[in-house]
């Protein structure tokens, strides 16, 4: 029988960190209505934090807030805002202060992505992703910084690993996330003397998320797709939640200006996720695998 790789377990943060770790603290999270950012918010709430989740679809936010409160026993405020519009973000911040009186932690997680080669992306489509990811992060920082200074709090920016190498069909998000990483580094240096920390979490492939459903090629094994996982499995939203709890905790008080890939080591084994050079020479031949803008 051939040997099999060890599979690292998926761990719940409550089995490691104190249940009241963030009691009395408040989280402000953009993109918190679904996916990875919802999971990050839930992890923080399970350790005593109250939260505001921000997004464009109020019905989704209201339902998510209700579910998060029921699951954690903490309060969750849904606040409709578009991160591309500074005024709406400031309104969401004002509602948070009115409700909770403070903001300790901020997750900048609003994002947009799709598969498309450079030849298939209009200038406006490229700009839209930068406006959501990069400008949205900047706008969120500007709207919250005075409150995070006051609480001596911290930021986590949700990035990606796609720009560590040239990734076909991902020029827009690669440029946007590189900008996010740079923003976080400057924020850490400028705001450190004010008591504020800033770090980046760069998720790898996370199972059962909207991003993976939208971006992963169809009819292909994901382990083969990413060259295998040194930890023996694909990522889970709880893996990102655990990193979030750690980075916002006092255990990470000496960590700022850093990028933490949470990818199970897959960046070291990753190859192009679409057949190369076929994907750039003949995009139409891959129509059975992806839905992309050609």
Q: Is 151 exposed, middle or buried (0-12, 13-18, 19+ CB in 10 A)?
A: middle
Catalytic site includes residue 159:
yes
Query: DSSP labels for 81-97?
Result: --TT-HHHHHHHHHHHH
Query: Which residue in the list 88, 177, 266, 279 is annotated as catalytic?
Result: 177
Cβ atoms 103, 97 nearer than 8 A: yes
Peptide bond into 104 cis (omega under 30): no
**Please, what is the end-to-end C-alpha distance for the chain in angstroms?**
45
Quote the CA–CA distance of 136 and 158 in Å, as a whole number.
12
Quote the CA–CA distance of 163 and 177 in Å, as a whole number.
7
Rounded to 5 degrees, φ, ψ at 149 are: -60, -45
**Helix extents (H) in 4-131:** 35-45, 58-72, 86-100, 123-130
Quote the CA–CA distance of 198 and 187 in Å, as a whole number.
6
Name the DSSP letter for residue 9.
Answer: P
Matching residue, tokens 């050079």: 277
Query: Which residue in the list 13, 159, 198, 266 is annotated as catalytic?
Result: 159
Indicate which residues carry an active-site annotation. 159, 177
């Amino acid at each position: 029988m051939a040997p099999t790789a060890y599979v690292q377990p998926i761990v719940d943060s409550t089995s490691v960190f104190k249940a009241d770790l963030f009691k009395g603290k408040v989280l402000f999270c953009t993109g918190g209505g679904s996916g990875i950012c919802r999971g990050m918010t839930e992890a923080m709430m399970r350790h005593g934090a109250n939260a505001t989740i921000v997004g464009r679809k109020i019905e989704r936010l209201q339902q998510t807030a209700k579910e998060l409160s029921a699951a954690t026993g903490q309060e969750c405020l849904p606040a409709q805002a578009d991160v591309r519009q500074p005024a709406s973000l400031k309104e969401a911040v004002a509602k948070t202060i009115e409700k909770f009186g403070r903001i300790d932690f901020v997750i900048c997680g609003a994002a947009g992505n799709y598969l498309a080669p450079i030849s298939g992306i209009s200038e406006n489509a490229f700009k839209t992703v930068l406006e959501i990811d990069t400008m949205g992060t900047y706008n969120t920082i500007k709207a919250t910084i005075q409150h995070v200074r006051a609480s001596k709090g911290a930021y986590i920016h949700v990035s990606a690993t796609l720009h560590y190498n040239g990734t076909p069909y991902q020029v827009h998000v690669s440029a946007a996330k590189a900008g996010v990483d740079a923003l976080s580094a400057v924020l850490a240096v400028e705001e450190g003397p004010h008591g504020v920390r800033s770090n980046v979490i760069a998720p790898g492939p996370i199972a059962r998320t909207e991003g993976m459903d939208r971006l992963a090629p169809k009819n292909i094994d994901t382990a083969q797709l990413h060259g295998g996982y040194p930890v023996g499995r694909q990522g889970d939203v709880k893996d990102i939640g655990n990193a979030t709890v750690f980075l916002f905790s006092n255990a990470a008080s000496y960590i700022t200006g850093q990028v933490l890939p949470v990818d199970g080591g897959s960046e070291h084994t990753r190859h192009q996720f679409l057949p190369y050079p076929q994907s750039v020479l003949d995009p139409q031949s891959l129509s059975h695998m992806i839905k992309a803008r050609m």
